[in-house]
Structure 1
Amino acid sequence: MTHSLPCPCGSALPYTACCGRWHAEHAASGRLAAPTPEALMRSRYAAFVLDRRPYLLASWHVSTRPDDLGAPEPGLKWLGLDVKRSALQDADHGTVEFVARSKLGGRAHRLHEVSRFVRENGEWFYVDGDLDGDLRN
């Protein structure tokens, strides 16, 4: 992606000033630098759009991480991300509710999830999520 293209996460910032910096930091140092659960979730969405599987696996908590992520299905097109809410339960636990839209084979798909995140050694990780969930407590 070039410096001027908008970030796939929908922030309206250029990719390099948004999720691209978290992807670049990880590629350079192996460190996950996203400062909040929402920033990590947005960077994971951008990683799905850009097929950055190493970043996706690294940002997935070891307790729930799959061994491998297969290639995206041919023709899959990501259409957008809408972050509904994000919250910190404490300094090291957070949740993000989002809707991600995609299209495959002429059919629209909608993923509505409340994702759980944990921070360990200063790095945020995606743990898991409830589909069609709600963040209300």
Structure 2
Amino acid sequence: MRIGELSERTGTPRRLLRYYEDQGLITPDRCTNGYRRYDERFVDRVMQIRGLLDAGLPTRLIKQILPCLDKPRAIHFSDAPPEMIATLEDERDRMTERINCLTRNREAIMEYLDTVRGNNHPRTASEASATS
């Protein structure tokens, strides 16, 4: 697929896809005419990158951990610097807090919806005629 289709399928602007390429996060093939060509795996990869960026990870760190996302049990960095480990632990803890906050917010919205639906559900025709 070309960059426009990848952009549509992932909701990622073309300019941002080019930035990911500049940062070494994705490496598309090139057609003979110079156009970028992305295979199907890039859809998931771009979504992973966006998720990691949304979580607050910098691109330099994302570049280091992307290989681990393909086969987490098969790839290990035996020489991972302590700073990288500390950064990942901090990011993990930050993500956990965000997940907990989002979970609480989702539960509050669900509870609100249950209350609203329970108290204000539309009456059926038979219910409306029974009260008249």
Instruction: Give yes or no for TM over 0.5.
Output: no
Q: Which has the higher strand share?
A: 1
Larger radius of gyration: 2
Larger relative contact order (CA 8 Å, sep ≥ 6): 1
Q: Which has the higher helix share?
A: 2
TM-score (norm 2): 0.25
